A and B are shown apart, each in its own frame.
Chain A
Amino acid sequence: MTEPVIHASGLDLTFQTNDGPVHALKDVNLEINKGDFVSFIGPSGCGKTTFLRAIAGLETPTGGEISVNGMSPEEARQARAYGYVFQAAGLYPWRTIAGNVKLPLEIMGFDKAERQERVKRVLDLVDLNGFENKFPWQLSGGMQQRASIARALAFDADIMLMDEPFGALDEIVRDHLNEQLLQLWARTNKTIAFVTHSIPEAVFLSTKIVVMSPRPGRISDVIESTLPKERPLEIRDSAEFIAIAHRVREGLKAGHA
């Protein structure tokens, strides 16, 4: 058994606010292995985003242990171990699509030829070739989010952390992007941690579904998906899919009780 990519044990995270402490995470234990596609699902305030941010070293846990690639999140961040995709595309309006994808490469000091080569490659991956010189406002919301995924892919991090990347998009675009994301994952063999509000999305994408519940934020169920790796959209009508979705829904309900 190889070392898990992300390992959390007894993780606690408490925010000090003016209204007193808020327990965003309480005693979270989780292992994510290389190549896993893990979804975090739960109602608002269950700490799924906070957990993702803790993996990224954007929040500091108040207790417990968390390691990324065997390092602390801070060290992993310095080693540029992951690409982060936010809820909004957050492209810089003053940069073209290619310029936006180039941004992390510039910061990380890739040379010019390599930057161009990588921009072309990741824009191909997200099916945005031909849009290099467009500005973000000239693209639809779904295309902008694809560009932001390309930006996170550009520097070849092994881990992708995605915080409701498709949350603001309509269902048709979302289905399409979900399919593309699965293809991308199959091709690149990255480890993906994916936060979502949507049960079908979580079941469709994941090899492992982490159901969380709020106040304090904790894991109420971890479901290993039995779906095959190859997943057409129609798989959502299969009995197996519905059974898994049902178990997720039960987990969410139990968390609320």
Chain B
Amino acid sequence: MRNLFPILTVLLAIVVIWYAGAVVMNSTWTQDQAERAGVELSFSEVVADTMAQDRPKLPAPHQVAAELWKTTVGKKITSKRSLVFHGWITFSATMVGFGIGTTAGILLAIGIVYNRAMDMSVMPWAIASQTIPILAIAPMIIVVLNSMGVQGLLPKAVISAYLSFFPVVVGMVKGLRAPDMMQLDLMRTYNASGAAMFWKLRLPSSMPYLFASLKVGVAASLVGTIVAELPSGAVRGLGARLLSGSYYGQTIQIWSALLAAAALAGMLVGIVGIVERMTLKRMGMAQ
């Protein structure tokens, strides 16, 4: 209960600012319409109109809420107008991409830690890969994969993986190098093999780092999938919802898709958090 108060305060502040913004931004259109029709509007009429436009510059919170309700609860989840349906499309591509990205990230990190050549060479490339705007490279990946006959979920997953592998590499390199000299020396006094060193010392040591990376990675994965849905002319997925909304000036649709994406991201990070807590608890590291 004590935590609820600050959260509600912030939420309330956001809603208030949002409504104020909606009034200010949408009133121009209201005034223009009134001028053309040759009528004078009172302040309350202006405010009422700014909250109920079809294509407002900034939809009011209750409009977005109504749209969200209509497109989640109000539609069958198999319907093309259901946000749950689009969210599922995006979610499944995100999960595949996250899986690929995490696996690739862990393998690269192992390579960097164990192989001197990779240690010297991989990281600059990994960093360079993240400095390229994803919006620039996403269409190319889709075109290239399409020409090889790969369509549908996989190209999106590849772009999603492209964004999510990086935090995993950085975190895992740090994590696999976390054991100090003394712990490594101890293993040496046992004449431990490289495999034993990895499975019994380096990998368990890296777990807290891995989970921190996964939280960043899963959010990046979602962004990657949504971005991948924009240029592909996809008709399904949250990205497609955003794109079609912007084609037709359906700001309410854009905002509800945005909020759905944010909720999905929050859920994904939350799931990683729960897995983290369970794992670290079993490892005795959550005190």
B residues near A108, Cβ cutoff 8 Å: 190
Task: Among B186, B193, B196, B204, find the residue whose CB has the most chain A CB atoms closer than 10 A.
Answer: B186
A 5-53 contacts with B by CB, 8 A:
53
A86 & B200 in contact (Cβ 8 Å cutoff):
no
Task: For residue A139, give the distance in angstroms from its CB to the closest CB of chain B.
Answer: 12
Task: For residue B240, give the distance in angstroms from its CB to the closest CB of chain A.
Answer: 44
A96 close to B (CB within 8 Å): yes
Stretch at the interface among B31-39, B72-80, B279-287: B279-287
Task: Among B182, B201, B284, B287, find the residue whose CB has the most chain A CB atoms closer than 10 A.
Answer: B284
Q: Mark A70-95, 1 if CB is under 8 A from B, else 0.
A: 00000001101011101110101111
- For the complex, give the distance between the alpha carbons of A123 and B134 in Å: 57
B182 & A86 in contact (Cβ 8 Å cutoff):
yes
Task: For residue A131, give the distance in angstroms from its CB to the closest CB of chain B.
Answer: 13
B204 & A83 in contact (Cβ 8 Å cutoff):
no
B188 & A77 in contact (Cβ 8 Å cutoff):
yes
Closest chain B residue to A136, Cβ basis: B284
- For the complex, give the distance between the alpha carbons of A59 and B201 in Å: 21
Task: For residue A82, give the distance in angstroms from its CB to the closest CB of chain B.
Answer: 7
- For the complex, give the distance between the alpha carbons of A82 and B188 in Å: 12
Given A106-B200, A107-B200, are A95 and B190 neighbors across the interface (CB < 8 Å)? no
B191 close to A (CB within 8 Å): yes
Task: For residue A133, give the distance in angstroms from its CB to the closest CB of chain B.
Answer: 10
Partner of B189, one of A58, A87, A94, A95: A58
A4 close to B (CB within 8 Å): no
Q: Mark B83-122, 1 if CB is under 8 A from A, else 0.
A: 0000000000000000000000000000000000000000
Partner of B191, one of A77, A83, A87: A77
Task: For residue B43, give the distance in angstroms from its CB to the closest CB of chain A.
Answer: 64
A residues near B193, Cβ cutoff 8 Å: 107
Q: Place the interface of chain A in its size category.
A: 20 to 34
B189 & A83 in contact (Cβ 8 Å cutoff):
yes
Task: For residue B74, give the distance in angstroms from its CB to the closest CB of chain A.
Answer: 48
Number of interface residues of B (CB under 8 A): 20
Which B residues have a C-beta under 8 Å from some C-beta of A?
A: 182-183, 185-193, 196, 200-201, 204, 207, 283-285, 287
- For the complex, give the distance between the alpha carbons of A237 and B185 in Å: 38
A80 & B207 in contact (Cβ 8 Å cutoff):
no
A 82-129 contacts with B by CB, 8 A:
82-84, 86-88, 90, 92-96, 103-104, 106-108
Q: List 29 A-B contacts (CB under 8 A).
A: A56-B189, A58-B188, A58-B189, A77-B188, A77-B191, A80-B190, A80-B191, A82-B189, A84-B185, A84-B186, A86-B186, A87-B182, A88-B182, A90-B183, A92-B183, A92-B204, A94-B204, A94-B284, A94-B285, A96-B284, A103-B190, A104-B190, A106-B200, A107-B190, A107-B192, A107-B196, A107-B200, A108-B190, A137-B284
Task: For residue A17, give the distance in angstroms from its CB to the closest CB of chain B.
Answer: 16
A residues near B183, Cβ cutoff 8 Å: 90, 92
Task: For residue B213, give the distance in angstroms from its CB to the closest CB of chain A.
Answer: 18
Closest chain B residue to A78, Cβ basis: B191
A135 close to B (CB within 8 Å): yes
A residues near B186, Cβ cutoff 8 Å: 84, 86, 90
Partner of A58, one of B185, B204, B284, B287: B185
- For the complex, give the distance between the alpha carbons of A87 and B192 in Å: 20
B residues near A107, Cβ cutoff 8 Å: 187, 190-193, 196, 200
A86 & B185 in contact (Cβ 8 Å cutoff):
yes
- Starting from the known contacts A93-B284, A93-B285, A135-B284, 20 additional A-B residue pairs (CB-CB under 8 Å) come to A53-B185, A58-B185, A58-B188, A84-B185, A84-B189, A86-B182, A88-B182, A90-B186, A92-B183, A93-B283, A94-B207, A94-B283, A94-B285, A96-B284, A106-B196, A106-B200, A107-B191, A107-B196, A108-B190, A137-B287
- For the complex, give the distance between the alpha carbons of A218 and B108 in Å: 46
B residues near A53, Cβ cutoff 8 Å: 185
